[in-house]
Amino acid sequence: GFTITFVNTQVIHHHITKSLPSTSQNDIDNNVVDIFAGAREVGMDIRYRTVSDGFPLSFDRLLNHERYLLEGHMGYLPVQMDKLVGHLVESADPPVSVLIADTFHDWQTTLAKKYDLVSVSFWTEPALVFSLYYHLDLLKINGHYGASHNNREDIVAYIPGIKAIEPNDMPCYIGELDVSTNMHRVLNNAFESVKRADIILCNTVHELEFEPISAIQEKQPMFAIGPLFPSGFTNSLVPTSIKLELDCTEWLNSKLPKSVLYISFGSFVPCGKEEIDEIAHGLVLSKVNFIWVLRPNATSYEEPYVLPNGFENEVKGRGLIVTWTNQIQVISHFAIGGFLTHCGWNSVLESVWHGVPMLCFPLKTDQLTNRKLLVDDWRIGVNLCDKKPLDKFEVAEKINNLMCGKSSDELRVKITKVKEIIKNSLAQDGSSEKNLCQFIRDVKTKISGRPRM
């Protein structure tokens, strides 16, 4: 077995503990909550540490994202991780031999080399997105990224393992003209660093993305080990939500099977106010039952969003609006028939796992590319709008088609097939299970082949 030391930033730890309903304010203030206590009770050897990112808990990292990236993510945090990893290497029992970190943390390969550890980069998005970032140099040479004036707008058909992709379907950072931002520095540094990793883990399924995975495997070991979420139960041993969850079960129990549309646009990217207004008006026109996870900062980090006048009266009895909920618990409920989603990768995997077809409204980053996979490649989702700007009548039509139109039946047939591929990958002889076992064998081989101090 393995002994694991899991490291969180103090701010993420604070949000998780604050969201636990049974946690007292005193315990939160004194930082005594151990989120891995439940895992240890069932025999897992997991230690837990937190580090500062250089800012106080009250600092708004979303509102001040560029400053946070520069001073925290790229500045203070790597120094703190160096100290922590160095201390663990010196004192931990059993000794530390592997360092796993999110691909966006470029310090990972540097520290692994410094302390003679096996370097494992963990990618949480699709392999297609990984490959696009991995080949930023090719995109730049060919004028699709970082061009001095305007990026090329024709199809990209020269990246290994990717047949062809429209520039509009690539992550938004690739298409932006100003590539001198701190976010672009993070991207460039991360994907220079990952090329020095011993192993790359990816939260995807080999059968769904074998072409980009195979192309990367020609250069570095990459293992698809997804989907990574608690599949057989909704209450995980380790709490992960950073917001207080409202229970929607009683309301859902009162609705007919597959009659409720679930709507969520993720935890942090804001939408345009006009677009949210049009979605609200479209929901009124659709007459469909729905649960809408509507964050106060849905349209701005500076001021709360206010629904259109009279909206809540118009949807009374058929619409439930909450600020946050347990997504797996909701979409696994028999009453859910569709998911209007921003196409975040975790949301995509959870929706497919439960056979819920998707209405796609991507906002930013990888979500644009995820939409391509869902709508164009796998055909298990449809676009919320086929043209801009968003229109309430089109929104209502798309919602009704998803929930009860002819296209609904076709989507359900196709998503059932993709669901089987994903479920089979986690079976005893499935690809993700085999890849995880091979990853463990490879790590053990690398550990045994390294001279110890």
Provide DSSP, 112-167: HHHTT-EEEEEE-S-HHHHHHHHTHHHHHHTTSSS-SS----SPB--STT---B-G
Q: Strand, helix or coil at 104?
A: coil
184 has pLDDT over 50: yes
Q: Which fold has domain 100-224?
A: Rossmann fold (3.40.50)
d(Cα 15, Cα 244) in Å, to the nearest integer? 9
118 has pLDDT over 60: yes
d(Cα 307, Cα 212) in Å, to the nearest integer? 42
d(Cα 430, Cα 440) in Å, to the nearest integer? 16
Which whole number is the average pLDDT over 55-64?
A: 93
Q: Which two tokens stand for residue 55?
A: 């800012």
Let me know: does 110 contact 193? Beta carbons within 8 Å.
yes
232 has pLDDT over 80: no
Q: Strand, helix or coil at 101?
A: strand
**What is the per-residue pLDDT across 27-50, written as a single tens digit (0 to 9) for each?**
666 667 888 888 888 888 999 999
**What is the per-residue pLDDT across 84-106, written as a single tens digit (0 to 9) for each?**
999 999 998 999 999 999 999 99
Residue 233: its pLDDT value, please?
Answer: 45
Q: Which amino acid appears at position 383 of this protein?
A: N
201 strand-pairing partners: 122, 223
101 strand-pairing partners: 121
- Of 283, 295, 291, 286, give the one whose Cα is nearest residue 254: 291
Helices 406-425 and 345-353 pack at an angle, to 10 degrees, of 100
List, as one string, the DSSP characters of 277-323.
HHHHHHHHHH--EEEEE--TTSS-SSS---PPTTHHHHTTTTEEEES
Sign, CA dihedral 354-290-203-210, equals positive
Say which DSSP state 181 is in: S
Domain coordinates in residue numbering, the chain: 1-96, 100-224, 248-426
CATH number corresponding to 248-426: 3.40.50.2000
Q: Do domains 100-224 and 248-426 have the same CATH topology?
A: yes
208 has pLDDT over 90: yes
Cα-trace Rg, the chain: 22
Say which DSSP state 246 is in: B
248 has pLDDT over 80: yes
d(Cα 453, Cα 449) in Å, to the nearest integer? 13
Tell me the percentage of the chain whose pLDDT exceeds 70: 95
- Of 390, 392, 399, give the one whose Cα is nearest residue 308: 392
